[in-house]
Amino acid sequence: MPKNDIERFVLDALAAEGAAMETLGYGLTEVVIPQALALVLQVPPLMTLVFDSEAHREAPEAMLVTYGHPLVDALIAYTLERHRGFRFYVHLDPHDYAVSAERVQSLLGQTLEFRKTRKPEVVSMVPIMGYDFSFRFRVAWQSSSRVEEVAEHLVDSQGNALSSSEYERTFWHTEPGPHERDLPTMPPRPFAHLYQKVRQATEAEAKARSKKLAESDRSQYDREYQRMQTYYQSTLQELKSKMATSSNDRRSQVFQERYRAAEADRDRRLADLRGAYTVDYQIVLDHVLMYGVPRMMVWLGLQQKAEHLSVPVLINLLTRTLDPFPCQVCSMPARSLTFESVWVGECCYQSAD
């Protein structure tokens, strides 16, 4: 059985840093890593790793590694730091940091609506360093033919989808620029959260593509299925007729055995045919790029009846657009927001009522 992407990443990353490993069976892998690496990752130098929950039940003393495990997050951070090619920064000029209150109000008018509040006022603005992630998956569909593509998803630090057009046209650097070097950093959500969100979107796309591939193969499958059914119907009918007209018990028994063998052969070949035209897909995480892109954090002041409210919004200084604002109930990007002890988007507003 092929390794899943988390197992491949962990074992390959450890092996690249000098780890020695041995497969013990039952899905267990014994790993010995250099002492210096163990200190960085905060794990023992000798570990027994398991990547499957069923195998873990057979060996509960092993370390079950899955998404969100501290070892995975530590390895990702270590890999990004050691292999700088995975991390890039945009360099901006001083004038790129200039954002007027009028521009903020214009972006708000185009992007967000705050219900039941007065028009928001710009209270303060401060530049920060934000991080965006480009997840690139290799997706392979296998049916009567094989199709393989790269699926890329660019998301912000909360996992909300971003447009990649500006990012594709940008010349990226492996070190921060002079205006970005000392900016305070806005930490992203845990990698496991970002991965799961993007993986779900990739799964949905892969399923939709599977359906289209199945539809395109349908006519060929129907022709082969009908040809096979016609052949076996004729063969079985002929054997049935011979059984009915046979006067010899032994010959009748031979025909019965041939009949059962033909039925079994038909069922096997039809199952093989269905398998050949069943569209399966495999998604493998190829690599992740992390982009350092400055934002302008803008604190807005709003008033709801007698209550004074404040809320931060982020302006992407590369694209000059407002970052998606998440509903604080379901975390989905929202456009129309109401304050009900938290900011509730139109996605959850009815249930909040």
Could you tell me which residue, 138 or 125, shows the higher pLDDT?
125
- CATH number, domain of 29, equals 3.30.360
Q: At residue 1, does pLDDT exceed 50?
A: no
Lowest mean pLDDT among 5-9, 133-137, 183-187, 325-329: 5-9
Which of 4-8, 42-46, 91-95, 313-317 is predicted with the least confidence, judged by mean pLDDT? 4-8
State the pLDDT at residue 129: 96
Name residues whose C-beta falls within 8 Å of residue 138's C-beta, 6 or more positions apart in sequence. 148, 149, 150, 151, 283, 284, 286
In a domain, 78, yes or no: yes
Cα pseudo-dihedral 26, 32, 33, 38, rounded to 10: 80
Q: How far is CA 327 from CA 158, 168, 336, in A?
A: 11, 28, 9
Mean pLDDT of 90-109: 93
Domain boundary among 253, 282, 311: 282
Distance between CA atoms of residues 62 and 53, nearest Å = 11
Residue 240 lies in a domain: yes
Instruction: Please report whether residue 108 resides in a domain.
Output: no
Predicted pLDDT of residue 352: 45
Using the predicted structure, report yes or no on whether residue 133 has a pLDDT greater than 70: yes
Residues 58-85: what's their mean pLDDT? 82
Which long-range CB contacts under 8 A does 74-80 form with residues at least 24 apart?
A: 74/40, 74/41, 74/42, 74/43, 75/9, 75/10, 75/13, 75/14, 75/41, 76/191, 76/288, 78/13, 78/37, 78/40, 78/41, 79/13, 80/290
End position of a domain, from candidates 49, 82, 115: 82
Name the one residue in this structure whose structure tokens are 């497969």.
23
What is the average pLDDT score of the chain? 87
Q: Which residues are paired to 295 by β-bridges? A: 128, 316
How confident is the model over 128-134, as a mean pLDDT? 94
User: Are 125 and 99 a contacting pair, CB within 8 Å?
Assistant: yes
Which of the two residues, 5 and 8, has the higher pLDDT score?
8
Domain boundary among 226, 258, 282: 282
User: What is the structure's pLDDT at 3?
Assistant: 52
pLDDT tens per residue across span 196-215: 899 999 999 998 888 888 77
Q: Is 109 among the domain residues?
A: no
- Stretch 157-186: mean pLDDT: 90
pLDDT at 80 over 50: yes
Would 313 be classed as within a structural domain? no
Q: What is the pLDDT of residues 263-313, one digit of tens each?
A: 899 899 888 877 777 788 888 888 888 999 999 999 999 998 888 999 999
Q: Is residue 63 part of a domain?
A: yes
How far is the C-alpha of 216 from the C-alpha of 88, rounded, in Å? Answer: 41
Lowest mean pLDDT of 11-25, 34-48, 69-83, 175-189, name the range. 69-83
Query: Which residue in this structure is represented by tokens 């007065």?
Result: 118
Q: DSSP string of 309-346?
A: EEEEEEEETTTTEEPPEEPTTT--EESEEEESSSEEET
Measured CA to CA, the distance from residue 256 to residue 206 in angstroms comes to 46
* pLDDT for 286: 80
Q: Are 58 and 52 contacting, i.e. CB atoms less than 8 angstroms apart?
A: no
Buried b (16+ CB within 10 A) or exposed e, 238-256: ebeebbeeeeeeeeeeebe
279 or 41, greater pLDDT: 41
- Amino acid 54 reads E
Q: Report which of residues 185 and 82 the model is more confident about.
A: 185
Furthest CA-CA distance within the chain: 102
- Whether the CB-CB separation of 91 and 294 falls below 8 Å is answered with no
Tokens of 290: 């992390």
- On whether residue 219 sits in a domain, the answer given is yes
Q: Is 350's pLDDT higher than 70?
A: no
Q: Are 319 and 166 in contact (CB under 8 A)?
A: yes
Domains of the chain: total: 2
Count CA within 13 A, CB hemisphere, residue 54. Answer: 3
The pLDDT score that the predictor gives to residue 2 is: 39
User: Residue 353: which pLDDT band, with cuts at 50, 70 and 90?
Assistant: very low
Give residue 236's domain range: 214-282
> Within a domain: residue 175?
no
Mean pLDDT of 46-55: 91
